[in-house]
């Protein structure tokens, strides 16, 4: 009888097995998130096959991030309007349809449409998983739950370039979608048996103006940041889009405080712990995504490695992050967020500093070790902090907190890439000359400065960790 009481309960009061529910959620989200970075190393082959320019090809990634980012804030409203089971199926079916279109596409426009439909499902799945994982575990095991979330959110985009590099080097790029599709179908079949409804619907009134403001504001901001990453911060479109985005987001925020039932409940920011933890995790995510862009540039342009070899250099770090995330979750449940975050940030800072000193002759094994150590530090910080933030919210605000947490992380991830690549590009331009063009020395200097911007951000996050105070539910307290 005791065992039954530890099992989660659906909205009808029926106990169900947590393991199948969690497996379906994790696999579904893993498949959707891995597509964010899956095409990074495949773009040259796609450009050649579909006869498109680099600027057009980049939209296959940028558009995915834009649509996914726009959908995330909507998830909180949908979770209170549609049963979580139906929302899961809607997200996965959308992703499956987009994957089929991508696999069969023979033109750029068709492939882009497929990526947009994929992104709709992906944008819904990320906050859906985080919310459901939080609610399906008791308070004293939420660190463990978020550790599992960390495997998916951090591990999948980290491993994608390696998988993509291997497939593209030996097979057609369409196999990137052919391989994913049967796993999606299998997961949908499992969901029929294991996905349960665990959220009681409040069915808030639809505020179409909030949806419009949210989509326009976030879309403009993400577009501006994406342009900055591709074209540089000097581009006028960057600043126009970012300013429009910020202004519209301010208007959206003011409207939420006036509504009887907010489309996105911004009073979660009244919690100091939630606000601080969200900012710190977003900053860390900035440095992770930015580093995953800079390191392949170093290994391919300076070291002369192939796309697959570059991916393999990142693979051990991805594996470390995947292993440490659930362990860090259990340690969080036992020791709380303060010790975990300080230790993790110290490791992250120590492992990041040597990247400021990269040279052409830096040993590959040393890079692998440092990158793996960085991932270890991130594993100790990201999910424990995210857990502490959402733990500080009441159950009725968890879906809103998850949506906001993921939205901020999406924006900061794009911003981190734009800042670190922007710093690198500006340095390269400064140290290059008209006669020699871009030299190895100027590119190295640019990469060093790009990692310096990451190190500065990590120091800022470390300082913010000092002010984290969170009520942690531990087994000891019980």
Q: Per-residue confidence at 456, pLDDT binned at 50, 70, 90?
A: very high
Range name among 40-44, 296-300, 376-380 with the lowest pLDDT average: 40-44
For residue 433, the model assigns a pLDDT of 63
399, 202 Cβ separation under 8 angstroms: no
For residue 398, the model assigns a pLDDT of 82
| CA atoms of 299 and 295, how far apart (whole Å) | 6
Q: What is the mean pLDDT of the chain?
A: 83
User: How is domain 10-204 classified at the CATH fold level?
Assistant: Growth Hormone; Chain: A; (1.20.1250)
Q: Which two tokens stand for residue 202?
A: 């409040």
Residue 477 has pLDDT above 60, yes or no: no
**Residue 360 vs residues 57, 289, 304, 372: alpha-carbon distances, Å:** 30, 23, 10, 20
Class of domain 264-469: mainly alpha
* Predicted model pTM: 0.79
Dihedral sign for Cα atoms in the order 393, 396, 399, 401: negative
For residue 474, the model assigns a pLDDT of 41
348, 374 Cβ separation under 8 angstroms: yes
For residue 2, the model assigns a pLDDT of 38
Q: Which two tokens stand for residue 25?
A: 């959620």
**102: three-class secondary structure by DSSP:** helix
92, 187 Cβ separation under 8 angstroms: yes
Range name among 75-79, 104-108, 113-117, 454-458 with the lowest pLDDT average: 75-79
| CA atoms of 194 and 109, how far apart (whole Å) | 37
H helices then E strands: how many in the chain?
Answer: 18, 0
Q: Give the Cα-Cα-Cα angle 322, 149, 354 (nearest 5 degrees).
A: 45
Question: What percent of the chain has pLDDT above 90?
Answer: 20
For residue 185, the model assigns a pLDDT of 94
pLDDT in tens, 241-299: 889 999 999 998 899 888 888 888 888 888 888 899 889 988 988 888 788 778 878 88
| CA atoms of 174 and 470, how far apart (whole Å) | 46
Residue 33 has pLDDT above 80, yes or no: yes
178, 220 Cβ separation under 8 angstroms: no
| CA atoms of 105 and 120, how far apart (whole Å) | 18
Q: What is the number of other CB atoms lying within 10 angstroms of the CB of residue 467? A: 10
Nearest by Cα to 456 from 406, 416, 409, 418 = 416
Residue 442 has pLDDT above 60, yes or no: yes
Residue 3 has pLDDT above 50, yes or no: no
Mean per-residue pLDDT, 2-17: 72
Instruction: Count the alpha carbons within 13 Å of 14 in the hemisphere toward its beta carbon.
Output: 7
For residue 157, the model assigns a pLDDT of 67
Q: Which two tokens stand for residue 296?
A: 């392949």
For residue 158, the model assigns a pLDDT of 66
Nearest by Cα to 287 from 79, 113, 405, 454 = 454
| CA atoms of 8 and 316, how far apart (whole Å) | 35
Q: Per-residue confidence at 54, pLDDT binned at 50, 70, 90?
A: low
| CA atoms of 456 and 470, how far apart (whole Å) | 25
């Amino acid at each position: 009888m005791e065992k039954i009481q530890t099992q989660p309960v659906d909205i009808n009061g029926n106990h169900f097995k947590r393991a199948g529910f969690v497996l379906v959620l994790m696999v579904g989200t893993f498949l959707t998130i891995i597509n964010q970075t899956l095409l990074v190393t495949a773009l040259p082959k796609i450009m050649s096959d579909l006869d498109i320019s680099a600027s057009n090809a980049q939209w296959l990634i940028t558009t995915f991030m834009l649509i996914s980012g726009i959908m995330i804030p909507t998830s909180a409203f949908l979770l209170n309007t549609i049963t979580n089971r139906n929302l899961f199926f809607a997200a996965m079916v959308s992703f499956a349809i987009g994957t089929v279109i991508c696999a069969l596409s023979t033109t750029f426009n068709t492939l882009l449409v497929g990526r947009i439909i994929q992104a709709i499902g992906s944008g819904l799945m990320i906050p859906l998983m985080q919310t459901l994982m939080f609610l399906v575990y008791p308070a004293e095991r939420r660190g463990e739950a978020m550790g599992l979330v960390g495997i998916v959110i951090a591990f999948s985009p980290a491993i994608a370039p390696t998988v993509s590099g291997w497939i593209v080097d030996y097979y057609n790029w369409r196999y990137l979608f052919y391989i994913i599709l049967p796993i999606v179908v299998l997961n949908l079949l499992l969901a029929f048996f294991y996905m349960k409804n665990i959220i009681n619907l409040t069915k808030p009134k639809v505020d179409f103006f909030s949806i419009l403001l949210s989509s326009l504001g976030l879309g403009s901001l993400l577009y501006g940041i994406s342009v900055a990453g591709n074209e540089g911060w000097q581009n006028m479109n960057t600043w126009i889009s970012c300013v429009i985005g910020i202004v519209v987001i301010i208007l959206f925020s003011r409207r939420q405080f006036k509504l009887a039932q907010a489309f996105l409940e911004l009073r979660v920011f009244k919690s100091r712990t939630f606000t601080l933890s969200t900012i710190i995790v977003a900053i860390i995510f900035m440095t992770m995504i930015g580093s995953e862009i800079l390191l392949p540039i170093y290994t391919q342009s300076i070291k002369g490695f192939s796309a697959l070899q570059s991916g393999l250099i990142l693979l051990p770090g991805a594996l470390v992050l995947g292993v440490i995330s659930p362990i860090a979750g259990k340690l969080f449940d036992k020791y709380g967020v303060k010790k975990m975050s300080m230790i993790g940030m110290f490791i992250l800072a120590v492992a990041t500093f040597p990247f400021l000193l990269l040279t052409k002759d830096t040993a590959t094994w040393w890079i692998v070790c440092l990158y793996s150590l960085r991932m270890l530090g991130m594993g100790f910080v990201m999910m424990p902090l995210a857990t502490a933030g959402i733990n500080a919210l009441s159950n009725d605000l968890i879906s809103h907190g998850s949506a906001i947490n993921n939205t901020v992380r999406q924006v900061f991830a794009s911003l981190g890439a734009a800042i670190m690549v922007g710093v690198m590009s500006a340095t390269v331009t400064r140290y290059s000359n008209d006669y020699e063009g871009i030299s190895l020395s100027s590119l190295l200097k640019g990469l060093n400065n790009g990692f310096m911007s990451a190190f500065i951000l990590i120091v800022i996050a470390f300082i913010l960790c000092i002010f984290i105070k969170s009520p942690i539910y531990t087994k000891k307290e019980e």
